[in-house]
Amino acid sequence: MSREDWRTGSIPELPLLRKQKFKIKKGKKVKEKEHIDHALSSSLLSIILWCAWLSWQFKILLFISLVITIFSIIYWCGVAVAKKKKLFKK
């Protein structure tokens, strides 16, 4: 903050975190012009990264469930073989 800002107590403009609307007067017409700040693109980037993170979480969960399924199939096949060979005593 510069000395003038400190003396007047005014806050310098900070980067905007949302869309900003400017009104431009031309004769009798008033047009609204939207100024898209880089924060909007960063919010889109954060949404994309969040979706990518969710897809990785889904892939990890899918892999874990696949591993559990394979091990359970191996286990139950072993139980069936053991019962067939009568390795379990009643």
For 43-74, the pLDDT digits (tens) are: 777 788 888 888 888 889 889 999 999 998 88
Give the pLDDT of residue 52: 84
**pLDDT: is 34 or 51 the higher one?**
51
> What are the structure tokens assigned to 14, written together?
């900070």
pLDDT for res 5: 54
Q: Return d(Cα 68, Cα 66) in angstroms, integer.
A: 5
pLDDT at 89 over 70: no
Give the per-residue pLDDT at 39: 58
Lookup result for tokens 């980067």: 15
Going from N- to C-terminal start, the domains of the chain cover: 12-84
pTM: 0.41
Please check whether residue 16 is in contact with residue 37, taking contact to mean a CB–CB distance below 8 angstroms: yes
What is the rounded CA–CA span in Å between residue 35 and residue 18?
Answer: 9
